[in-house]
Amino acid sequence: MSDDHHEEERPEFDPQHVDLPSKEPPLRSTAPQSDFTMSQVSTGAAVALVGLLLTFGVAFVLV
């Protein structure tokens, strides 16, 4: 049975001699920390308003 883990290519792990990566990982940006433009805020508000109108408008019409 063949596995794709390539065990023969992996060096043995030695906790006494840990080699750190040669370069830093890429910087990450998460939504709450990102800056927003007014265009993005306006688009989000419009989408939220349409969603609320559809949700409550359909419910109100059906009652």
Distance from C-alpha of 31 to C-alpha of 25, rounded to nearest angstrom: 19
Q: What is the pLDDT of residue 32?
A: 66
Long-range CB contact pairs, 17-26, < 8 A, 24+: none
Question: Which position has the higher pLDDT, 5 or 35?
Answer: 35
pLDDT, mean over the chain: 79
What is the DSSP secondary structure assignment for residue 15, as one 8-state letter?
T
Question: Which alpha helices (DSSP H) does 11-62 contain, by range?
Answer: 38-62
Distance from C-alpha of 51 to C-alpha of 57, rounded to nearest angstrom: 10
Tokens representing 58 are 């359909």
Q: What is the pLDDT of residue 63?
A: 83
pTM value is 0.45
